[in-house]
Amino acid sequence: MKKLILSTVVLSVALFSTNLSIATKIADESSVVVNHDDEKTDTFKVYGNCGMCEKTIEGALKDVKGIDKAEWNQETKMMEVVYHTHDISLDEIKKKIAEVGYDTKAFRATEKVYNGLPGCCQYERPEVK
């Protein structure tokens, strides 16, 4: 009887630990990672101002292979993305956002693309270090 109970406890702990979330904080850029096989959820800062920014930022990831969800919060400037790591990396996601004019801590939009944004979308850019 004790062996059966012990086996049940060990199995329960093993099953539970495979579904744990890992939370990390990197400088002022937060990242929450939930790993289910190859699916991850990451949250990171994307600079922007308005509803048009939101549409453009989210639109940069629309219909991209491997991305299940991409939502940018105008108030917090935080992007939440659910993606499959075998199809796309977090760096590739951030590069796609920079390609449409929006900075992250990891990737900066080119001056040409940034300057092409509508006036209301030209946010205060972080300093380049």
pLDDT for res 128 = 76
pLDDT band at 7 (very low <50, low <70, confident <90, very high): very low
**For the domain that residue 116 is a member of, what is the CATH number?**
3.30.70.100
The two three-digit tokens of residue 64, written as one number: 């991209």
Whether residue 9 lies inside any domain: the answer is: no
pLDDT band at 35 (very low <50, low <70, confident <90, very high): low
**Overall pTM surpassing 0.85 (yes/no):** no
46 near 60, Cβ under 8 Å?
Answer: no
Q: Is pLDDT of 113 > 50?
A: yes
Number of domains into which the chain is organized: 1
Residue predicted with more confidence, 35 or 95: 95
Which residue reads 């629309």 in tokens?
A: 62
pLDDT tens for 66-94 read 999 999 999 999 999 999 999 999 999 99
Whether residue 60 lies inside any domain: the answer is: yes
pLDDT band at 25 (very low <50, low <70, confident <90, very high): very low
pLDDT band at 20 (very low <50, low <70, confident <90, very high): very low
Amino acid, single-letter form, for residue 91: D
Quote the CA–CA distance of 66 and 107 in Å, as a whole number: 20
Mean pLDDT of 34-38: 66
Quote the CA–CA distance of 52 and 63 in Å, as a whole number: 18
104 near 45, Cβ under 8 Å?
Answer: yes
Mean pLDDT of 46-51: 97
Whether residue 13 lies inside any domain: the answer is: no
All residues at 6 or more sequence positions from 3 whose CB lies less than 8 Å from its CB, including other chains: none
Whether residue 97 lies inside any domain: the answer is: yes
Whether residue 16 lies inside any domain: the answer is: no
116 near 73, Cβ under 8 Å?
Answer: no
Q: What is the domain range of residue 66?
A: 21-121
Task: List the beta bridge partners of residue 71.
Answer: 80
Whether residue 4 lies inside any domain: the answer is: no
Whether residue 52 lies inside any domain: the answer is: yes
